[in-house]
Structure formats: C-alpha cells, structure tokens
Structure 1
Amino acid sequence: MTRNINADLIKSISIFGVVYIHSCTVFGEIDSLVFLRDIFRFAVPCFIILWAYFFEKSYAKKTPEQRKKYLINRFIHLLRVFIIWSLFYFILTVDLDTLNFKKFFSIYFSGHGWSGQYFFIILFQLIITYPILRKTYNIKFLKILVILTSITLYVLFEFHLSNIPVILNKLGYRPIYFWVIYVFIGITLARNKIKSISSIFILSPLLIGLELYILRLKNIIHLDYITLGTLTFSILLCISFLKLKNLNYSEKLNRLIDFIGKNTLVIFVSNPLLIIALKQLIQYSGIYIEIMLMPIWLKICISLLAVLTVFSGTLIISNLLHKTKLIKFLG
C-alpha cells in the first residue's frame, strides 16, 4: 500500500500531541501549557480514525479466510507488544509492599499501568469486534442508531458525569462504545464516501481547548476525551487533513514525517519510560524548586524543552529498535 503522506503528517502531529500530554506537566501545571494540552486531545481520536481507515483498506482486499488470519495476526502482535511493555513498566514502577493479586491485574494490566496503556485495551476490543462493527456499518439503520447512541453518550458523559453509575465512570476511556463512531468515520474515509471540506478545519482543535477551558471554568466534571467538542473537532481535523491534496515538503522533512508515521507505536509505548527517567533526573539533581521559582516564561520554555527532549528520545529508541531488529517484538 502506498503511504499517504497526509495521514503520516496527522499521525506525526498526533503522536507529538500524545507525548506533550504525558510530559508537559513534568514541572507542574502551567495554564498556557494546559490549554495547549487540551488542544492536543484530538490525538487519540485521530489515531482511532486512522486505525480504522487503514484497517478497512487492508481488510476489504482480503478473502474471508485471509480476513480471519489478518485479525488474529494483528491481535497477537498487539498483545505481544502490550505484554512486553506492561511487564517492563510493572518491574519499573511496582510497589511490592502494596502489591496483591487483584492489583496486579486491575492496575498494571487493565489500562492504568502506564500512560497510554488504556489505548491498547481500546484496540483489543476494536480488533475483536471489527467484523461485527463492519456489518453494523453496512446496515444503514443500525449505523444511524449507533451514531445517535454515541452522540447521546457523549452528551451524558460531558454534562451529567456525576449521575453516571460509578462502575461506568471507573472504566474511564476504555469502553468500546466511546470509539465506535470514530471507527465508522475511518471506514467512511477508507471507502472514499466523504467529500473534501475546507482546510480551515485544520484549526478546529483550538475549539477543543476552548471547550475544555469553559468546562473547567464552570466546574463541570467531565472526561477530557469524551466531550462533543473533542468528538466533532477531531473528526473535522482528520477529514480536512486526509482530503487535502498531498502536500509538498523538503526531502528531509518528508523522511522525518515518514519515519515518525511508521513508528508511532514505539513512540507511544516508550515515551513514559523517558518521562520516568527525566523525573528521576530532576529529583536527583534537586533543580525542581529552583525551576518553580523562575519567571513563568522561563518555566514554559523549560517545560517545552522537556517535551522536545522526551520526543527526540523516543525517535532515538525507534531507530535503535530498527537497527537491532527488536522492532517486531517491541513495536
């Protein structure tokens, strides 16, 4: 399959957004950095859309027998990466004094073990149910019903989260019902059933930041990814990017975008490691208090430098895994 440079660009921006969300608060929360973090909430929804986009393109070309094998292979590969990195972070972060059998699974292997682990839980559900989701999509009535149900859920979770049953609330972002609508968008894009929209929607994530700012200002309890703004503007961003004519970049930038686009999973799983290492270094050096006493503009610069350091480190890890041939096991 010919690589789509625009898709790789969305993936590159999105994975940088994920790293930013995880690492921007290394030196504490700063309002301007939090707003930018909120803007980057489009990252995970865009990854789900792009996952469905490419998954559908591959799945549609296969025979029924090939499809079954494809699903199994994709699931096994993802499971292997999940288990290896989860065990690694378990060893790195476990508190043996409080560890018990229940915590071993409920904390370290169910989506709470390390930053972003929940994303694997989402993908496991999507791979297992993909044939059913695809059949549902193909039946117009069911597709509309699922979309309307999804929107209703987003309204309930955004404005009435305190009234949601505790057990559902504790599941957080992990349940599949939050992400099916993004899968449907990805399938629609893969089948080329969406027309081009204005490139102005590339700026739509700014409205995600505005929405989340207003929700906090009004003390409305919510989940950052489960809001109507995050849903709407993430979809508009992804569509506007994918429907653009392939943009022309310099050869070096094109290679960088291609490299990042091919290694988003490694970047995703390795950035918490570098954040842990950075926090340990800060604690060991004793510079945290000094940085907290600095002018706000300087704290912002240092925080952004930390984000860039983590992101650059993930690229180095990606390159190292390719050179050592470990990429097939770890990413």
Structure 2
Amino acid sequence: MSDVLTVESAGGLLTGLLPAYGSVRAVTRFAEGSVTGAYRVDFAAAGTAPVVVKVHGRDDLVSAVREARALRFLTRHGIDVSPRVLAFSRCAELLGDRPCVVSSLRPGRTLTTVDDELTPAQRHDVYRQVGEVLRRLHAVPAPGYGYLAAGDPGHADGAVRTALPDNRAHMARVFDRELRRFRANGADPALVNALAGHVADRAEAFAACPRPAYCHGDVHEPNLLVEPAGDDRCSLTGLIDPLNMHAGDPLTDFVRLDAFSLQGDPTKIAGLLSGYGAHEAATHPGAWPVAWRPRLHLYRIALAVELHNWFTISGQRDELPALDRQLRELVGAGERRG
C-alpha cells in the first residue's frame, strides 16, 4: 500500500475522530509489524500522547472491524500490553474511503530489532513475560472453536463465527479448507493426498485440547515491543496486531511463534514455558512438553500449508520450494515416529 496518511490528511481525519488532541505535528510510517499501512501520529500540543493510525484497504472493512474488536477484547480482559482503541472509521474520505483503526501507541521497539543486542538472560526474561501474557489470554473461556465474528453489529467483541464444540471438528474444517486451496493452487496431488492421510490418521491428537481458548493468532517478534534494561531485564511493553485472533487450541500460538521467531532456541522456549506455567519447564528447560508434541506436529503442518497458500496468492513464489520441503519432511518425520 502506498502512503495514504500525510500530516494534512491525518489532521483532517483526527480533527473529526479525536478533536481534543489538537493539530498534527508529524506522521511517520512504521517499517514493520503489519502488512497494512500503520502510522505514528504526533501532535503539536505538549503532553498529548502520540497515536497509531492503521489504514486498511478499501475492501478490507471486515479486517478493520475484526482488529478493532480484538483490541477492545484484549483491553477488556486485562491484556495491558495491548494497544487501546481510541477511534474507528468505516470509510474515511480523507484516506480514499478506506477504513482505519486509531489506537494508543505502546512504548518500545520491536523485539526483532533489538534481539541481537540482548543477553541470554534478557531473552529469557522477555519471553517469560510473553508466556505470562499468553497464559492470561488463553485462560479466557471461549464459547467454541472458530474465527472471531466481524462485520455484524449484532455480534459482541469476542463472538465466534460458526463455532464448533470440539477441536477435532474445528481442525477437520481448517484442514479441509486449506488443503482444498493448496490443491487449487497447483500443489503436487501426491503431496496433498499424503498430507490429508497423515493428518486423518493422527486426528485423535486434537482431542487432547481440553477446551477452546482465545488465541492472538500472530504472536512473533515483529509484533512484540520491548524495552531492554540493566540487571539482565527486558520489559515486554507491547503485543500488537491481533488481526488473526481466534478461538482454538492455545498451542497454535506457540507453533506460529516458534516458526517465525523461536526456531527451537532453548533459552527463549525455556523463558516462554516458565512464564506460561508449563509443568515440564523446570525439569526439561528449553524443550516442548511431551504431551504437546503430537498436536504441535499437526499444527506445524497446518501453518506450513496456510503459508504456502498465502505466498501463492500474494505472488511470493520464491518462498514455496522451502515450504514444499518442510511439508514433505513433516510427513516423513511423523511416519518415522509411527
């Protein structure tokens, strides 16, 4: 998306949405953390806190509504490192009729940008805090398995669209959808069939999830804000971009985080599991609990197929060979384990 927010357009927009904030002094686009346009807006009045304006595409009203509702839900349930929604526009004329979400600015820098500066103790500390936040979020009971409702004013924040009562039925729905897309996108039919059979043979593992929980859906280092400090501390100051929030197995948040950021790092995993309160964290630091591993394996397959579909439709075909190899390895690893 080309830049659509300028000092002039932000001033006109926020005069209507946040009149008490006064005139706009500066607009800066964030370099990462979102595939849509996210901007920091600073105001001329001293003491007026900056805000974030996230601009969605003209046809992405549902996504904008979903994100605003997810942020409000997180705030209501005490996830205090999440931004607060300050204003919302369904169709802002000054943004070319695009919807936008205006939220508070969380302090800190993305964990991606500071990770190389951290000591092992600081990495452990910040991931311990990530685990604590996820534990609080995952403790919120959900009414069923599925994606959050959006676009219908009759739905409350946190409502689940076409909720299913058990995880096995939910994941059957997820795999059916993603594998159909995978096949339609020109995937090797033999690989599609192997994946479908592999998952079907192990589907009983999904039942080990005791109940649905609210999951952030995109926890990884570009969406984590931190402030390093002395004494081997590093404060988690923000968890942003809950656009993919859903109700499901909490382990899906861990799989996405591992794939994009942890990548098996034992220090980060140990900190995460310590904060989460996983019972094996003290006896086997840096290793995933044994009871989780059958589901983790299946969720890694689901994520790889989802990413393959996304990279295909977005034209990022250079990413596909590595995902093909990963999927074949996941099937092979699962077969060797029996």
Structure number with greater CO (CA < 8 Å, separation at least 6) is 1
TM-score by length of 2: 0.21
TM-score by length of 1: 0.22
More helix per residue: 1 or 2?
A: 1
